[in-house]
Amino acid sequence: MEKYISYKELLLDYQDEKIPYTKLLSTNEWRLFRDAIVNRDNHTCRICNAIETERIGKFYIRKPTEEENLTSIQKHSFLIKDNSLIAPKYAVKTGIIDNNPTILHAHHSYYIHNQLPWEYDKDSIITVCQNCHYNIHQTSIIPTYKDISKTDTLKLTPCEKCYGTGYIEKYFYYENGVCFSCMGNRFIEYCQ
């Protein structure tokens, strides 16, 4: 089970240092904000409509297909005198381990320099799957504004490994997929 800490606890750990973005995403404040966005969007990617894979402990579980259920019913059923089948309760699968899960992210449509990830207007953030999130950052530039007025932008260089997402999706199982090049800071300038 992932452990989250409060932002106040995090401030104690980084007193005069800049807090890495990934550490901000490990706070209770971010988790509550992110979950509100994902709930609002019905646990579905707003771009490709992929539905989030449920996580139970260390495993990602998906619903079985009809074919998988039918195979299970046939395998576990009993033939009776009138040649009909009786299937016990366990014959229908309730979930299957998914080795290629759909993990949802809360995508900021813009950033404001030195603003905490949960201090944004909820309408500026959408739920996207990890693949769509990666594609957004690979194919478009997400503006970073100097302040809340959103008049002046900063010229930041996205990380070459994660394209500014802070994550590398195929490594979701290790350190939650945090980019090992930028350490989740998304931009080269934030890594210095």
List, run by run, the mean pLDDT of 10-residue segments along the chain (192 residues).
Answer: 81 83 88 96 95 85 75 62 58 71 92 92 95 88 88 85 76 74 78 60
Position 133 in a domain = yes
Position 2 in a domain = no
Is 0.75 surpassed by the pTM of this model? no
| 38 and 114 share one domain | yes
Position 1 in a domain = no
Contact by Cβ (8 Å): 45, 128: yes
| 91 and 28 share one domain | no
| 157 and 93 share one domain | no
- One DSSP character per residue, 47-70 reads TT-PBPPEEETTEEEEPPPHHHHH
Structural domain count, the chain: 2
Range of the domain at 185: 7-52+102-191
What contacts 88, CB < 8 A, 6 or more positions away?
A: 76, 77, 78
| 110 and 171 share one domain | yes
Position 126 in a domain = yes
Position 170 in a domain = yes
Cα–Cα distance, 13 to 24 (Å, whole number):
12
| 61 and 31 share one domain | no
Residue 1 pLDDT: 41
| 106 and 85 share one domain | no
| 13 and 35 share one domain | yes
| 163 and 79 share one domain | no
| 144 and 170 share one domain | yes
Q: Point out the domain boundary residue: 43, 70, 97.
A: 97
